Amino acid sequence: MITGFEHYKKKWGVNSENIIKPGLDAMKEALALLGNPERGTSYIHVAGTNGKGSTIAFLESILCQHGKTVGKFMSPCILDVHDQIQINGEKITAQEMDGLFQEMREAGLDGKCTDFELLTCAAFLHFQKQHVDIALIEAGMGGLLDSTNVITPLVSIIPSISLEHTNFLGNTLTEIAAHKAGIIKQEVPVVVGKLSEEAMNVVKLEAEGKNAPLYMLGEEFTVEGEQFLSPKYQFSALERRMPGTHQGENMALAIMAFLLIADNITTESVRKGVALAALPGRFEEVLPNVYFDGAHNPASAEKLVATIQEQFPYKNIEFVIGMLADKDVDAVLRIFETVSTTFTFVSFENERAMEAIDLMKKSRAVDRRIIHLPAEYLQEPVEKGNVKIVTGSLYLLAALRAQLTGEK
């Protein structure tokens, strides 16, 4: 369920299904009724398992520093549905959302879409109305059959590919990679991160079949510490707010994509864009020595552990964790247990959430417990030499953020 979305559906009498239904037919029909608002806007399309949000954050910041008006459509929300549609970092307002829903109702979209399809329609409509220079579009699930895959972008980006959503996308990396590579379009350049050989073979074949120029991290461009290197451009002294080697790679993907579409490039604007880029829930210090990171699958858990080892090699780590039951909970816990023996488990409101007691039963940590008021617990001073990492589900992070910061 998309937090806050039901309000607009009820207010304007536009019904949609709270289900996942891969395929583009309903989306194309709905957009046609709206006059195809997705046409005429320039896009960058991003699909992959991990790194999508961070790559988009770097791109948005770099583009804004170069004077562009930048739309952004992402999922899931941080607090509520307004987070998911933004322009230059500003969330869509309730008044703007009302206007979109009125137009969608008058166009006859009632009962024609799933929730995510309807929200995607709203995003395209908003970007058209606001005349954005470019819109950054994050695929919701997969790519090939995702509702966002009705656009022809200027460039496509695939940061990573690992096993996820196997009930929809397939049980092998080859099958899942075929879905992610589905965003590759005829003769449109594609920028990819460090993929496994199995996944990369699929991407290479798709790019070759579509005559799409392929730019691979580690081949056509590289990142070395604080330096970005490509045959034509070099940027040094790049300082990031988002730590971790993996974020350096996401930064490099963003810079490469920007270079492929940019008409005016200044080194200082690239540096400033990188320095200002931030994303809630990506190793974010929300309270003193309390960090939020939405690691929810084995690949992202491994990256979080690597960042912890880089940033806090001599600190005691406590994980505060809640997870969705349909994730690979056992694998994630085993990875986290390599850097900590202290785990605090929490339950949170979501129909897919695993109860804290069931999470604790799966844990092998020496020191493990359940708390029922996590927001109050996180506000307690953290002992010297200790760090708390809140992780496992972006939905948990969203709920706690609202309580801790008072954001609405």
Residues 314, 203: one domain? no
Residues 243, 293: one domain? no
Range of the domain at 138: 5-276
Residues 33, 148: one domain? yes
Residues 354, 388: one domain? yes
State the pLDDT at residue 408.
Answer: 47
Q: What is the pTM of this model?
A: 0.91
Q: Which of 211, 244, 276 is the last residue of a domain?
A: 276
Residues 139, 49: one domain? yes
Outline where DSSP puts E strands in 251-356: 284-287, 290-293, 316-321, 342-345
pLDDT tens figures, 63-101 = 999 999 999 999 888 788 999 999 999 999 999 999 999
Q: Which residues of the chain have pLDDT under 70?
A: 165-167, 407-408
Q: Is 344 helix (H, G, I), strand (E, B) or coil?
A: strand
Residues 305, 365: one domain? yes
Range 206-224 burial, b when 16+ CB lie within 10 A, else e:
bbeebebebbbbeeebebe
State the pLDDT at residue 1.
Answer: 72
Residues 272, 288: one domain? no
Residues 223, 327: one domain? no
CB of 45 closer than 8 Å to CB of 152: no
Residues 267, 317: one domain? no
Nearest to 225 by CA among 243, 199, 200: 243
CA–CA separation, 201 and 95 (whole Å): 46
Q: Which of 242, 276, 310 is the last residue of a domain?
A: 276
Residues 35, 106: one domain? yes
Q: What CATH number is given to the structural domain containing 9?
A: 3.40.1190.10
Residues 260, 289: one domain? no
Residues 68, 154: one domain? yes
Count the domains in the chain.
Answer: 2
